[in-house]
């Protein structure tokens, strides 16, 4: 039996973070990504993903999951077939984005035109302040206080002091907060009140996914956004009385195909949209830019947190992020 040579290759890549990046679940000093590349007819399409330990993903397992699709890709795997073949996960994201990039290059169309979407334009991205002591966060915030939108990582005990210190250091910036599931039923209302007092616009995922029912039982003084609680369209219905917005990340949805469908469905249900990212290179950010015309909040600062980005990366001017050139993706 003759084996079919696959046009799919995948690899793990590592990019150092400038300093370290800290959230409630820990710190890291490098972004570990997995890249899928599909070649056909002299063209190559790429997609990048970031395996997330929160969902039991590792770079090695993600690489293996992508490589397990080699025969399917060789036999003409389509994006539509991919959605039915793999569950939403980082591996599917890399493959979905690689297939779109390949189709875009082969058809000489930009990805948004190919997908029937509006062309993304430059927009303002949030810039992340890592979790630390109130004093250290204030010092980091002073350096970023010129940015119009800051995303503040919180982590539980001491959060009211952290957000007060950040607000004092950046009196003119719009603030959004990400608790990364670190709050509890006993601290929820106190922390929300502290954020409201600091003029915070939005709080992401204050309670653990699966234990967030209290959000439907209290008066929420500011908008609350689902992150770990939302993955794809099947997640939405149970969130309607708990959240005001949803954070759409391609590694959760398993690619831009489902991400766009999720955004459309969320809009119909009245949710605001945040387009978010993991700490990754511009190759991860580029397809997510297709969501920005639908988004109230854009959080695509991953490359700004790295010591170096990949070649042909997105252009950033301060907090303004510009859509990808075709040499990068789509």
* Active-site residue set: 153, 249
Closest CA to 270 of 239, 301, 230, 231: 239
Helical H segments across 146-249, by residue range: 159-169, 188-197
Instruction: Give the H/E segment covering residue 152.
Output: strand 149-153
Instruction: Calculate ∠ Cα 129-135-138, nearest 5°.
Output: 40
Number of H helices, E strands in the chain: 11, 14
- On whether the CB atoms of residues 138 and 169 are closer than 8 A, the answer is yes
CB 71: neighbour CB atoms within 10 A? Answer: 13
Closest CA to 86 of 63, 108, 65: 65
Q: Using the CB atoms, write b or e for 100-128: b if 16+ within 10 Å.
A: bbbbbbeeeebbbebbebeebeebbbbbb
What does the DSSP assignment read for 40-78?
ETTEEEEEEE---GGGT--HHHHHHHHHTTHHHHHTT--
Query: How far apart are the C-alpha atoms of 276 and 249, rounded to whole Å?
Result: 5
């Amino acid at each position: 039996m003759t084996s079919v040579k696959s046009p799919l290759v995948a690899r793990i890549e590592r990019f150092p973070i400038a300093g370290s990046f800290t959230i409630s679940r820990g710190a890291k000093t490098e972004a570990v990504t997995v890249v899928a590349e599909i070649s056909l007819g002299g063209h190559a399409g790429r997609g990048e993903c970031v395996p997330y330990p929160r969902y039991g993903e590792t770079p090695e397992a993600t690489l293996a999951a992508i490589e397990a699709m080699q025969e399917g890709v060789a036999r003409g795997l389509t994006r539509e077939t991919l959605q039915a073949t793999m569950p939403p996960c980082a591996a599917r994201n890399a493959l979905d984005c690689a297939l779109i990039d390949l189709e875009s290059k082969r058809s000489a169309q930009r990805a948004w035109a190919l997908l029937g979407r509006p062309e993304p334009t430059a927009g303002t991205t949030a810039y992340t302040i890592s979790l630390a002591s109130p004093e250290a966060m204030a010092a980091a915030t002073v350096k970023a206080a010129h940015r119009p939108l800051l995303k503040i990582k919180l982590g539980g005990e001491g959060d009211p002091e952290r957000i007060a210190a950040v607000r004092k250091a950046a009196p003119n910036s719009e603030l959004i907060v990400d608790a990364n599931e670190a709050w509890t039923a006993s601290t929820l209302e106190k922390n929300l009140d502290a954020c409201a007092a600091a003029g915070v616009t939005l709080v992401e995922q204050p309670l653990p996914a699966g234990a967030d029912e209290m959000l439907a039982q209290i008066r929420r003084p500011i908008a609350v956004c689902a992150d770990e609680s939302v993955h794809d369209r099947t997640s939405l219905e149970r969130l309607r009385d708990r959240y005001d917005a949803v954070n759409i990340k391609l590694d959760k949805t398993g690619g831009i195909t489902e991400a766009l469908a999720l955004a459309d469905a969320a809009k119909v249900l009245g949710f605001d949209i945040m387009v978010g990212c993991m700490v990754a290179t511009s190759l991860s950010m580029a397809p997510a830019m297709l969501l920005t015309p639908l988004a109230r909040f854009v959080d695509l600062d991953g490359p700004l947190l790295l010591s170096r980005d990949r070649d042909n990366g997105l252009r950033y001017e301060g907090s303004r992020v510009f859509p990808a050139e075709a040499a990068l993706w789509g």
